[in-house]
Structure 1
Amino acid sequence: MRGIQLSLNQTQKIRLERALEVLQSLSSKANNNASVTVADTIPVNYEDGVLKGHGTSELEGEVVATVCGVVERVNKLVYVRSLRARYKPEIGDIIVGRVIEVASKHWRLEINFSQDAVLMLSSMNLPDGIQRRRTAVDELNMRSIFEESDVVCAEVRGFQRDGSLHLQARSQKYGKLERGQLLTVPPYLVKRRKQHFHHLEKYGIDLIMGCNGFIWVGEHVEAKDILAEDQVNKFEQQNAKSYSSSTSLEEQEQTYTPLETRQNICRTANAVRVLAILGFNITVEVITETVGLSTSLNLDIHEMLGAEFCVLVAESEAERRRLVKKG
């Protein structure tokens, strides 16, 4: 558990410490042989031959850990996986980023990595949906697809020879994200899973868990070619500016997010913030449980960020893991 900075009274401090002690004891029992700290000895079988990897060193004939983490073994390779490392991209990762530059034939995105990522025009579906070569006209219309400050979901394609990270968005599930909140959490709290796209039907929202620590909480969008609609709308606005000024009130209201949905987005976003403050692994199951706890207590959205609710979430998670351990 990382250091928690909350305005707690004496009673809340004691309750939180007890909950964290329970969580730590359950975690240490589950990973007693795998967890190591700096200078801990890692048991190995020298007869089979050992390859010392990241986070390990040899001292007085023994393999010791140089970082805190979990011991991993791949054949003869032994290394320590740091639990709080920075985001390390892998091919196929689902990431969420923000466009910071529209350049020649590509967009540059901030993805919470040591360097920016590149999304090439040739690595994404065009709004017309036709598979063809990109032309000079397509390059001129790049800003009508993505522009600066747009939030985009994409997939890691790989590293180029110059060391740059390249992305791709060749599916309708990727693209621009609108009507929601972008949250930033430590990347180690978001584990790689088979599914990073979640539709919470009960709340009418979408949840995208970026492997890079960027989490998107927004209004649910049906699977359709959103880019095509966006580009058509922008071209219509450019060709008929007078029409936009005379848009009827009914048409404007269709673009608004309902109040209940906005409240659900804010409540879910605060649940993610609370879990990040406590240092818990962020999964869709834990998020929904935290949201359910806040609604069962009839808490206002802003009250979720208070010290009392953080303590209640820690106690609830400790009890849940204890029941799972018994089961």
Structure 2
Amino acid sequence: MITFSSFPAPSNDNYRSSVTYPTGLDKDEEFDFDLDNDDFTSSGRKLTCPGEALTSSQAFMRGHGTYVDNEEVIASVAGIVERVNKLISVRAIRTRYNPEVGDLIVGRITEVQPRRWKVDANSRQDAVLMLSSVNLPGGVQRRKLESDELQMRTFFEEGDLLVAEVQAFFADGAMSLHTRSLKYGKLRNGQLVTVPPALIRRLKSHFLALPCGVDLILGLNGYIWVSKHVKESEQEGEEGFDAEAVYSNRNDDIDDATRSAVSRVSNIIRMLAAHFVPLTDTILLNAYEWAVDQDGSIRDLLQEDAGEALVAAISAQL
């Protein structure tokens, strides 16, 4: 006869957890946190692993990524512990993007269909961008005609990158996007960097401009666009916009200094993501200043020792 038994949970009277924190601390150093502390949400990053006891099920409610065993809330996935009042959940680090209305995302066109585009947004299924949800050349707001449907590939075609906002959801769960603002649309003059969506924190603005002449678009779906800086006067206009500039597939002329800055920022993001450091405007700015002060080349930022030194310096500043 085969019998099943659960693994014993670590005994701790105060329901405190000790997790090895891989970002900025020594391998043997532990990062303690207390879920009963009112400052839990602002006291730092809390990482946990499957099977680890988080708190008492009598004082807190279990959320996603947790289960209850022996009157304790236990993590079922490896990720970041989140608390909303008395609700405890674990946000998995390695997971697909879970969209919400109003989220800013960066996606890639995968298919052109009648009156709509399919967009890869790093979610469980492709997103949908309707023809009625895009700006027409000249900024004219009118009903889309059959002539507009015949010209869909002049706006977006397979492989094009774009930044959009989640507008709504269809009955099957697919998210609907829109690019009706002048700050949304096709992306050019840069490169795409992919990180786990859990590392992108919600900010007041996901459009960042670094002093090195590089613009960042932090998509909540884990896609980050690093590009040449565009002035606001070139990006917005009172009388609509230029169709050749907005829907063009040609990149502008980029000087060597800007190319180096884009590559440096991209390597910094990759290294921070490899060490599971959440990406915010402050962390990225501090990381870039640290990288500029180093004597090594841009390629050296991808070395393991350089990455550990970068994460240690960022953790010390925080």
TM bucket normalised to smaller: 0.7 to 0.9
Query: Which residue matches 1:157?
Result: 167
Q: 1:144 touches 1:231 (CA, 8 Å); kept in 2?
A: no
Query: Which residue matches 1:303?
Result: 300
Q: Which has the larger radius of gyration?
A: 1
Query: Which residue matches 1:249?
Result: none
SS class of match (1:286): helix
SS class of match (1:20): coil
Change (3 A) 1:22 1:194: farther
Which of 50, 53, 75 in structure 2 is aligned with 1:40? 53
Query: Which residue matches 1:20?
Result: 25
Q: 1:42 touches 1:65 (CA, 8 Å); kept in 2?
A: no
Q: 1:97 touches 1:152 (CA, 8 Å); kept in 2?
A: yes
Letter in 2 for 1:70: V
Which of 83, 103, 127 in structure 2 is aligned with 1:72? 83
Distance 1:109 1:227 in 2: 25
1:73-152 to 2 correspondence within 5 Å?
A: 73-74=84-85, 78-84=87-93, 85-152=95-162
SS class of match (1:178): coil
Distance 1:287 1:300 in 2: 18
Q: Over the residues paired in the alignment, what is the CA RMSD in angstroms? A: 3.2
- Structure with greater proportional helix content: 1
Letter in 2 for 1:137: S
Distance 2:221 2:247 in 1: 31
Distance 2:206 2:85 in 1: 26
Change (3 A) 1:289 1:73: closer
Deviation at 1:265, TM superposition (A): 0.7
Between the two structures, name the one with larger relative contact order (CA 8 Å, sep ≥ 6). 1
Q: 2:63 touches 2:90 (CA, 8 Å); kept in 1?
A: no
1:228-243 to 2 correspondence within 5 Å?
A: 228-231=241-244
- Unaligned ranges ≥5, structure 2: 1-20, 41-45
TM-score, L = length of structure 2: 0.78
- Structure with greater proportional strand content: 2
Percentage of identical aligned residues: 35
Deviation at 1:29, TM superposition (A): 4.1
* 2:258 is the counterpart of 1:261: yes
Q: How many residues align?
A: 282
Distance 1:303 1:232 in 2: 35
Which of 189, 208, 218 in structure 2 is aligned with 1:209? 218
Deviation at 1:79, TM superposition (A): 3.9
1:302-321 to 2 correspondence within 5 Å?
A: 302-321=299-318
Report the more deviating stretch, 292-301 or 87-96. 292-301
Distance 1:317 1:30 in 2: 24
- Unaligned ranges ≥5, structure 1: 1-15, 236-251, 322-327
Query: Which residue matches 2:205?
Result: 195
Deviation at 1:315, TM superposition (A): 2.0
